[in-house]
Amino acid sequence: MAQPGTSPTFSLSPNVLFVCPPLLVFYALCVLALCPAALPVITPRRRSASARARKRMVMAKKPRVVIVGAGVAGLAAAHRLCAAGGDRFDVTVVEAGARAGGRVLTSEFAGHRVEMGATWVQGVDGSPVYALARDAGALGEAPAASLPYERMDGFPDRVLTVAEGGEVVDADRVARPVEALYRGMMDAARAGEAAAGGGGGVEEYLRRGLRAYQAARPAGGGSKEELEEVEEALLAMHINRERTDTSADDLGDLDLAAEGEYRDFPGEHVTIPGGYSRVVDRLVAALPPGAVRFGLRLRRLEWGETPVRLHFADDGARPATIAADHVILTVSLGVLKASLVGGNAGKDAAAGAIAFDPRLPQFKRDAVARLGFGAVNKLFMEVEPADTPGPEGGGGQPPEFPFLHMAFLRGHVSKIPWWMRGTESICPVHAGSRVALAWFAGREAAHLESLADDEVIRGVDATLDAFLPGPPRWRVRRVKRSGWATDPLFLGSYSYVAVGSSGEDLDRMAEPLPRGSGPPRVLFAGEATHRTHYSTTHAAYLSGVREAERLLQHYR
C-alpha cells in the first residue's frame, strides 16, 4: 500500500498476465492510466495473506465435543482435550446429576472420612490416579488427613476368624492354609495359569482346588466331616470377598480365562487420606469455567449423521437439545444394558436408559449384553459395646472391635438374615476404630438398599451375637450405606468378564461409531472399555485420555 502523498503502484502477477489476452491487458492498462486509484494494490504477498485469513476463518469453527458424564473418564477426556489447546475444540461436559465424580464419592460418618464408592488405588507405581491424588495434596498429613480414614493403617494383620456359633477357627491349622490355597489359586488364575485346568467359572475352579487339597490330606485324628465343613465355610467366605472384588453376583459367572488378562499397577494398594473426591476436584479445577453443566440427563442420541444431536430431559421439563460434531459417551455399562431393553425415551423408558437413533450396531449390542456388570455396596456401622467388661486382664481399657472374618455354616439355625450371609467380614475401618465396615455384592447388595435402617441394625446385631457372643456384646448405633444398584445414573458398580464373554468384548466396547474410516461421531469411554484394567478408577481415567487422543489424532 502507498504511503500518503505518493502515487500508488500497481503490479500484476505473472500468472494473471499469462491467462489474459493482450487486448484485455491493454484495456486494463488504459483504465488505470485514466483512474490510477480505481484498483487496489494486488501483490503475491497480499494474496497469500488473504488465503491465510480464509483458513483462519475456516478453523475458527472449532469442532464441538460433548462429553456425557462428569465421572473420572469424562473429566479425563475433557482435561486432555483442553490441555491440548483451548482454541482447538469447543468442549462441554454434561452431567445428569448434581455433582461431579460419578462412582467416586467421599463422605463422612461418625467422625471418619469414608468412601461410598471407589476406595482403593490398585498399585501406586505408574498409576495416574495416584499421581493425581499426589498433585492434589490428598496424600499429605494435614490438612487433607485431618480425619481418620479407611485403612489408614494398611491391611490388618490381626484377623479373628470365627465360625457361626462363636467358635474361633484355629488360625495355623485351618484358617491360614485355606486362605493360602485361595490366594494361590487366584494368583495362578491372574497369571493365566489356570484356564487349562478346566476353564469355565471361577467358583468351580476354587471348589475343585479345595476338594483336591482335602483329598491330599493324610488321615489323622479328629472329625474329618467337621473339619471339612469349616473349610468349606472358609472358602465360601473368600468367595464372598471375591464377589465384592469383582462385582459378580455368582462367581460361577466370572470367566476364569479372562482373569489372566486383568492387571493392577505395580506397588502397594492404598487408600487416599484426603479422600478420593480430591482427585475429581483436581480434574474439575483444571477445566475452563462453565465447562461442566449439571442436571442434564441424556434421553436420546441421534448419531446417524453429523451433527450428532443429544436430547436431554430434566424431571419432565421441556427437553433440551445440543448438537455436536463428536460425543464421548462415558455412562456406565449398567446404563447401556438398560438401554438395550428400555430404548424408548418416552415416559415408560427404563430407568437411566438412553434411546439410540439409529440403534446401536449389533457388535456393540452383543458386547454390552455379554459383559458382566454387578452391584457392590458398603455398609458402615458405628458400633459400641453393650456391656463393658471388668478391669481384669484389660486394665480398664475400652475394648476394641476385632477384625472379624465370618465362616457361615450350612444348616446352622440362627437369627442371621440371609443377606448378611453374603459378606466376608465386619471389620473396623482402622485399628481401634468404632466405625466398622461390611461389603456386599449382587443380590445381597441390592436387597440392602431396600431395607430401613432399623432393620439393617437388627440384622447386624443378630450376626454379631452369633459370632461374638462376648463379653463384650457389641451393638450398632447407626449406619450409613451406599446405593449403587438402584441409582438410575449408574445401575450398578463396575464391570467383569462374564462366562461367554471375553476381553475382545471390552475392545468392542471401546470402538467408536460409526465403524470404519470416517470421522468418529460417538466415542466410548469408562472402566468397562479397558481390556486389562476394567473395574478400576484408573481404567476410567485411561479410557478418557484414550478417546481424547483419538480425536486429537483425527484432527492432525
Q: Which of 516, 515, 511, 518 is nearest to 547 (CA)?
A: 511
**How would you write 335-352 as a 3-class SS string?**
HHHHHHHCCCCCCCCCCC
Please give the torsion angle defined by the CA atoms of residues 14, 19, 24 and 29, in that order, rounded to the nearest 10 degrees.
-10
Compute the distance between CA of residue 494 and CA of residue 408 in angstroms, rounded to an integer: 27
For residue 87, the model assigns a pLDDT of 81
Range name among 32-36, 354-358, 477-481, 520-524 with the lowest pLDDT average: 32-36
| DSSP 8-state class, residue 175 | I
Query: Over 50: is that where the pLDDT of 347 sits?
Result: no
Give the separation between CA 406 and CA 4, rounded to whole angstroms: 95
Residue carrying C-alpha cell 458402615: 380
* Residue of higher predicted confidence among 520 and 26: 520
DSSP for 382-444, written as a single string? EEEESSPPPSTTTTTPPPPPPEEEEEPPTT---S--GGGGG-SEEEESSTT-SEEEEEEEHHH
Query: At 185, which amino acid appears?
Result: M
- Mean local confidence (pLDDT), 107-122: 97
pLDDT tens-digit profile of 186-243? Answer: 999 999 888 655 668 999 999 999 999 999 998 776 688 999 999 999 999 999 999 9
Q: What distance in Å separates the CA atoms of residue 388 and residue 391, rounded to the nearest whole number?
A: 9
d(C-alpha 179, C-alpha 161), whole Å = 11
pLDDT tens-place string over residues 277-332: 999 999 999 999 999 999 999 999 999 999 999 999 866 555 689 999 999 999 99
Q: Is residue 3's pLDDT more than 60?
A: no
The per-residue b/e assignment along 90-110, b for 16 or more CB within 10 angstroms, e otherwise, is: bbbbbbbbeebbbbbbbeebb
Predicted local confidence at residue 19, as pLDDT? 37
Are 425 and 405 contacting, i.e. CB atoms less than 8 angstroms apart?
yes
pTM as predicted: 0.86
Q: If you average pLDDT over every residue of the chain, what do you get?
A: 87
- Predicted confidence at residue 146, as pLDDT, reads 78
